[in-house]
Structure 1
Amino acid sequence: FPVVKVLLLALGELWRNSEDETFQRVSSVCILLVQVTSKWATPDLFAYILLLFLFRHLNHPTLVESKAVLDVGFCCFGAFCLCSTFSTLAIHRPVLVKGAEVGNDSHYAVVGQSRSPALLEQFGKDGALLVVSVLEVVFMILLIAGVTTPCMGLHLDTSVLLEPKGPVPKSFDWVLEDAIDALELRPLLRAEVSVWHCLSSLAGYIADGEAACMLAFVMLAVFAVSLTVADMLMLALATFSFRTPGPNTAMAVSRVLKHVSMLDVFCMGVCVVCLAGKAYSSVGFDLGLRVGLVPLIGAEVSHYLTYHLVSSAVGLEDEVVSSDESPPASEDKLLSVKAGGDGL
């Protein structure tokens, strides 16, 4: 996958300044693909962080032993993921000029027919503020619920100890169950993790001198949660700037935050690892999703929806403003005719 990214980036830069419009479009698509996929190398990283919590909370010597540690490989992979994400912020897609040919008035015809942003057209500025405010509230409620509710769980299934998978005859299953109850093992054979509990545990691991857990804490607390919240705040500020003169700075900041925020990547990582973990259920390793993932996905859906509504409104506003500042093609031709007449 990194090789594909390098290839797409090379093609994008090779054809960036091409005189052929088709090559320019291919260049734009290649760079767009690199930008969109830059942070999607990270899902496994978040799953490793949650698995660290689960394994350590199943460790109850001498009854149950389960050890886990984040080592140098985790730090190297994390550095790669962050560099991959941030480096694409410095890469800009080539600007495609529409209707740039001399005498082509199609660009002005299209701009003249530009409709108002859907969010503003349907609700007006005050209504747009209300819609975005509702989405912000829904986002925060779902995020808080998701952060504080377990989203992944691990259960050690003792049935694999029975024949034919294990050494214990099926006729002695009652002995196995009684032994587990007598030793009070059942609560020790399962663990669940929420984002909040994972962060609090990571803080403790950092205090114990585990340097790799610092990167894990930053990835989970900053990139998965805090930057997503910051992006929603910027979208709210961008909504307040609708139909005001000057560039929408809040929207520009939001585009950067949207690029580096990783709540969507976190949710994908949890889903993928839990589905992949089903392959180990035959040996008693039961890794599964928990209800806390649902509000987290809902929060990210609210984030995506808010970003789409606000960014499309700001984008159409910028297009209308740029068209208002540009003189129509007919006026340019009229000025050139007058200049020619004066010269004669």
Structure 2
Amino acid sequence: MSEADADTSTHEVGYLDGNPPKVINSDSIYLMLGLAVAIVMGCLLDRMSTFKHFNAKNREPFWVLLLVLVSYGYLIPGLVEVLFSFNLVFDTGTGGFFGIGPDSSFNHAPPTTETMLGLVRLLWETGSWLGAVLVVFYAIAIPVTKLILLLVGNLIQRDFPKASRRCIQSVQNISKWACPDMFAYILLMHLVRSLAHPPYLLANGRLDLGFTCFSLFCLGSTIAALGIRVPDREHGCFQKLGRALTEKNLVLGVSVLFVLFAIPFFWGLNETVMGLKVGQLDPMISMTLSFVGLTPEKLKSDVSIMNCLGTLAEEISHGEMNSFIGFVMFSVFVIGMTLLDMIVLLWISIASWRGRPVARWMQLSWVLKKLSMVDVTCMGVLIVTMCMSMYRKYVEVDMGVGQWLLVSSEVIHYFTYYTVKGFTEVKDKLDLGNTMQMDEDEEETSDLSSSTAIEEDHAWL
């Protein structure tokens, strides 16, 4: 019999459902090793001469295939395993306590425990239809769409090469968008734990194996998508903008954009992204809380990304593996990739102005942009804030000013990236991504046709 099925009278005050911490930590290590082993084994197979002919004709090298298989193997557990569990309890100190949450009462304080599918069902049943639709879209529809596009792109590769490339490009573009709410769950658990004011107010929260599996699925499948061999070239308004810019205009423009990005980015990292406060309580409980010094100001908490990183680092020292995953997600993919991409884009503009080659730097920027996740995090905060509205009778979750500062910095990041990308593709004839020989041949034919058309237009003028 699991903890969730046991009689609540046997539990200590403020208990959590789901898997025990030891199980979560040990299984998390094995799951992370699974991704690492898939990459290593795939790379070894790619180096074997026996499979080089096979690799030359396929868009996916073996390390990509194995990483996709292992990542999607984590998807189902990520949907059905416990995502998180949290509990808020007011302990009177005289042998009695009040639970703050659904189904709670005097001397009865069950935790709030959710799986991904259970969360969708509860959102739908409580009337939060938009929240349910958004969770289904990001957590289920996008992973399924990625897999379908990947399969279709390979099946039509020979007969419809252009459509095949479009399918794979779509996979690369949407891959990271499967995990927005994972970032917000990390912040949510920080908020819950920050409410604790022992010995009277007990607050506990824990990310479970559902979070582990789904986060590793998202990271693994996103990294794998970037290894698929397909070109990625702009053909829209940003190439037109690239043609209009000179090297000097580019470096001046990107320098200004970098400053405009940095101010809200660093400000947003240190400002409140999410806030949580205890909802409307029974007047008797509220009066008792005030009597012991727990005023409404103490029944709320807020979190910034930098503050959350500090807490995660402390939890890692206690052996919490999900805190390690959360730390990597924020420090590497939210902060590191985004900031490094802007630095690389600034360097590309300087190198172009000085007449130096930028192909490798632009390829690096292409990878960094696909892996940077400020946009994903902001969407996750929005989704989880909407989802938590079904608990507003007990706890209220709101977005902070840091959310909008990060959104504004990411808008500037997008504009800077596509401007520099369009410029370098026009000036240096770059094809980003990983091209195959058949893609290069078709691009040359396409470029020749385009140049012929331009010459005819000039002749007509």
Distance in 2 of aligned mates of 1:233 and 1:81:
25
Q: Which residue of 2 aligns with 1:274?
A: 385
Q: Which residue of 1 aligns with 2:309?
A: 199
Q: Give the residue type in structure 1 aligned to 2:314.
A: G
Q: Give the residue type in structure 2 aligned to 1:272.
A: I
Distance in 2 of aligned mates of 1:128 and 1:7:
39
Using the size of structure 1 for normalisation, the TM-score is 0.77
Q: Which residue of 1 aligns with 2:225?
A: 88
Distance in 2 of aligned mates of 1:133 and 1:232:
10
Q: Give the residue type in structure 1 aligned to 2:244.
A: E
Distance in 1 of aligned mates of 2:162 and 2:383:
33
Is 1:153 matched up with 2:268? no
Is 1:60 matched up with 2:197? yes
1:181: how far off?
2.8
Higher relative contact order, chain-length normalized (CA < 8 Å, sep 6+):
1
1:78-157 superposed matches below 5 A: 78-93=215-230, 118-119=241-242, 121-122=244-245, 124-157=246-279
Distance in 2 of aligned mates of 1:212 and 1:157:
28
Query: 1:116–1:317: 8 Å Cα contact kept in structure 2?
Result: no
Distance in 2 of aligned mates of 1:95 and 1:262:
19
Q: 1:75 and 1:5, CA in 2 relative to 1: closer, same or farther beyond 3 A?
A: same
1:33 to 170, 180, 186: 170
1:250: how far off?
1.1
1:1-344 superposed matches below 5 A: 1=141, 2-18=143-159, 23-93=160-230, 118-119=241-242, 121-122=244-245, 124-159=246-281, 161=282, 173=283, 178-185=287-294, 186-242=296-352, 244=355, 246=357, 248-281=359-392, 283-319=393-429
Q: Which runs of 4+ in 1 moved over 4 A?
A: 175-178, 320-323, 325-329
Distance in 2 of aligned mates of 1:142 and 1:295:
5
Among all aligned residue pairs of Structure 1 and Structure 2, give the percentage whose two residues are the same amino acid: 35
1:251: how far off?
0.8
Q: Which residues of structure 1 form unaligned runs of 5+?
A: 97-114, 162-172, 330-344
1:292: how far off?
1.1
1:296: how far off?
0.5
- Considering only CA atoms, is the larger Rg found in Structure 1 or Structure 2? 1
Distance in 2 of aligned mates of 1:246 and 1:210:
45
Query: 1:27–1:94: 8 Å Cα contact kept in structure 2?
Result: no
Distance in 1 of aligned mates of 2:222 and 2:241:
31
SS at match of 1:208: coil
SS at match of 1:158: coil
SS at match of 1:241: helix
Distance in 1 of aligned mates of 2:301 and 2:218:
28
Query: 2:348–2:358: 8 Å Cα contact kept in structure 1?
Result: no
Deviation per residue, 1:66-107 (Å, 9 max, x gap): 2112233322222111111000111123799xxxxxxxxxxx
Matched residue count: 291
Q: 1:183 and 1:28, CA in 2 relative to 1: closer, same or farther beyond 3 A?
A: same
SS at match of 2:397: strand
Q: Which residues of structure 2 form unaligned runs of 5+?
A: 1-140, 432-443, 453-461
1:183: how far off?
2.1
1:143: how far off?
0.8
Aligned-CA RMSD value: 2.7
SS at match of 2:301: strand
SS at match of 1:60: coil
1:16: how far off?
1.2
Normalized per residue, the structure richer in strand is 2
SS at match of 1:17: coil
